[in-house]
Amino acid sequence: MPLLKEMNLSSSKKKLQEHYFEMKKDPSFQKLIHKLELSDQEAMKITSKLQDTLEEVIHCKNCKGMYMCQNSLKGHVMFPEKKEGCIYFSYAPCQFQKAFLNSRNEKNELANTNCYARMKDIDMTGDKKRMDVIKWIDQFFSEYEYQKDMKGIYLYGSFGSGKTFLVNALFHELELSKHASILVVYFPEALRNLKEDWDFYDSKMRQYQTVDLLLLDDIGAEKVTEWGRDEVLGTILQYRMEHRLPTFFTSNMNLNDLEKHLAETGKNVDTIKARRIIERIKQLSVSFELISENRRK
């Protein structure tokens, strides 16, 4: 038995050496070993780990977004680091994960601000287009009655121009003074949540369909799928259109650009279904453009 064990160890060692010297033919592998200042004996022990590192780096170079991530920890890339003579492997966020985290932090800050938005806090300075939007909001507030057939607003324009803040201010005033039920939904995240949590799908959809005042925030920022466009967005809009419930939208796209965006689902293009969504939005809202300085500064 000891002899057999020794033969197995010898065979494993030989395979390890063969694998290592085969990998060493790769210039990237050589460069990584040199960077970490590893001897052949040290590097041979962690050949597979070093190989995994190089594969993850290659994945990142060819990646176009988090949805394409092929690495073992989504949104991260494994990298080795030498400390006190030992090699440690850890994970660093990729460029898309960093952007996601920054965006989430910014959204959390904006959400905190929007939670306390009131019409008295609206900045009354600005160009004619901004004042037209503010006048519309003031008129909607004055005329709003439960079950009255009223259109919402499709508010589009430049990033950070205050679109979401204006609608939130109107919603909170109506909640306080006229007891309207309100719901602000960041649409890309809502789609992700619906897909990931099927247990609450029906209850969430029912809430989106029936709440008195609904804001679909940042529509057009989502990755378009047939399911998200037709089964989720289309179903919500159809119900609210049939029951004449005011529906609000914010977007960086005008309706023509949104239609093009909604038509493309991967390799497929369906202009008819995209147009159907746009027609529902037009039935539910009036369109205003809002372009101004970035107020998030």
The pLDDT, as a whole number, for residue 273 is: 92
Q: What is the mean pLDDT of the chain?
A: 82
Q: Which residues contact 163 (CB under 8 A, 6 or more apart)?
A: 155, 156, 157, 250, 290
Place of tokens 């938005």: 117
Please give the domain boundaries of the chain with CATH numbers for all domains.
2-96 (no CATH), 116-290 (3.40.50.300)
The pLDDT, as a whole number, for residue 116 is: 65
pLDDT, tens digit, 9 for 90 and up, residues 24-54: 888 888 888 888 888 888 888 888 888 888 8
The pLDDT, as a whole number, for residue 7 is: 46
pLDDT, tens digit, 9 for 90 and up, residues 274-289: 999 999 999 999 999 9
The closest of 133, 172, 148, 164 to 246, measured between CA atoms, is 148
The closest of 155, 118, 115, 121 to 136, measured between CA atoms, is 155
Say if pTM beats, i.e. exceeds, 0.75.
no
pLDDT, tens digit, 9 for 90 and up, residues 158-182: 776 788 889 988 998 898 888 888 8
Give the pLDDT mean for 194-205.
85
- The share of the chain scoring above pLDDT 70, in percent, equals 84
pLDDT at 194 over 70: yes
